[in-house]
Amino acid sequence: FIELPITVNDLHSDKLLSDPDAVKETAREYWSTLYHHDKPPDIPKPWLTTKAVLDIKKRVHNDPFIWPRPASLSDFRAVLRKGTPRPAPGRDEWEKWLIKSLTDRALGIVLRLHNYIVMNAKFPGDLKDMTHTMFHKRGLRTDLSNWRGLLLSNFLANSPLAWLNFNLIPYIAKLRILPDTQVATQQGVQTRDLMSYLSGMKGFDHLLPQGFYDAISAYGLPTAIADLDRAAQSDTRCFIRTAHGTAEPITISGVTKQGGSLSPVKSTLTTSLGHHYLNDLLANDPDALIITSSKAQKADPHLPDDNLRTLVGMVEATDDSHLFSRSLPSLRRNVLAMERFQFAYGWTTNWLKS
């Protein structure tokens, strides 16, 4: 249960609104504006052909990712065991714990529907309709900018993306597609070990899906992955909950939704392009931060590890990052390179929080 605000700030004045219809219309206008995405800017994208990305593309070519692929009954049960055991249901009111408890015969019916969507990249009828709720982050509860939106999907709208995520994450780890210093979605990594970040503005809400599609193309992954994602998030009706009831639906497209099964990997694959690009830029930067042992610095190696050199240009945790350099001019160049990268995909740095 989330206690939603019964009074909200008017978006165009300093008034407080408590009339039920006014609150619903204000919430509808705010979230519609937030989720609206302009066309991606047409700018050069050197990160798509940088050396590290081309090396990954060769590895993917030699060990391709197979998609689409249907799930077996045992595969489907394995996916159901992953993640939150009792997530909030979507408009279909299908509870995950109940689906997990179905007999093989009953679950087989659900599985056939799931596999149809996976293999054809089509979501029939109103299956993509979502319920929108929100949770408070900080500050005044009447200010909608202090709330984070949460989109609740129908079970069969989410399960194909969960199945893709289930297969894609181990493959990404196996081929080392993500940089080692990009900790989000990396198996066995605790993101709380990072303490200081450059904070992104509104995170998933502003991330354009084109970054994910560029990553799929640049790494040589199957285009069917992008086809499924486009089908899942194009022209989706969103029903916004308020304290006074549900507002009239808005139609959204291209939203990397908070709480989505595929959202973290979409974000990290996008930012990995910039991360690899930055590392390649730093390879020729005399002020790059390189970690070695003290013996190696003295040119007096005693152990094999003394010959290791680790370049650390940036560490990331989803939409937060920390850039490193040994001089201000070098750091300025690196920050501007990453600003140009993230601008191409709808992100900007929140300097007030950085």
How many Å apart are CA 117 and CA 100, to the nearest integer? 19
Distance (Å) of CA 245 to CA 21, 132, 237: 9, 12, 17
Q: Is residue 174 part of a domain?
A: yes
Find out whether 312 and 162 touch, Cβ atoms under 8 Å: no
Strands (E) located in the chain: 8-9, 16-17, 130-136, 147-152, 198-199, 236-242, 245-246, 250-252, 290-291, 310-311, 314-317, 320-323
Q: Is residue 255 part of a domain?
A: yes
Q: What is the three-class DSSP state of 38?
A: coil
How many Å apart are CA 78 and CA 214, to the nearest integer? 30
CA angle 78–231–257, rounded 5-degree value = 70
Its pTM stands at: 0.85
Find out whether 155 and 90 touch, Cβ atoms under 8 Å: yes
Backbone angles phi, psi at 261, to 5 degrees: -60, -40
Give how many domains the chain has, as a whole number. 1
Q: Is residue 1 part of a domain?
A: no
Residue 344 per-residue DSSP state: T
Distance (Å) of CA 188 to CA 146, 270, 293, 294: 32, 21, 25, 29
Q: What is the three-class DSSP state of 238?
A: strand
Q: Is residue 115 part of a domain?
A: yes
User: By residue range, what is the domain housing residue 196?
Assistant: 8-353
Q: Is residue 3 part of a domain?
A: no
**For position 197, what pLDDT does the model report?**
44
pLDDT tens, per residue, the chain with 354 residues: 578 999 999 999 989 999 999 999 999 999 999 888 888 788 999 999 999 999 999 999 999 999 999 999 999 999 999 887 777 788 898 988 899 999 999 999 999 999 999 999 999 999 999 999 999 988 999 999 999 888 899 999 999 999 999 999 999 999 999 988 776 655 555 555 443 444 444 455 678 899 999 999 999 999 999 999 999 999 999 999 999 999 999 999 888 877 778 888 998 999 999 999 999 999 989 998 888 887 777 777 777 777 777 888 888 776 677 888 899 999 999 999 999 998 898 887 776 665
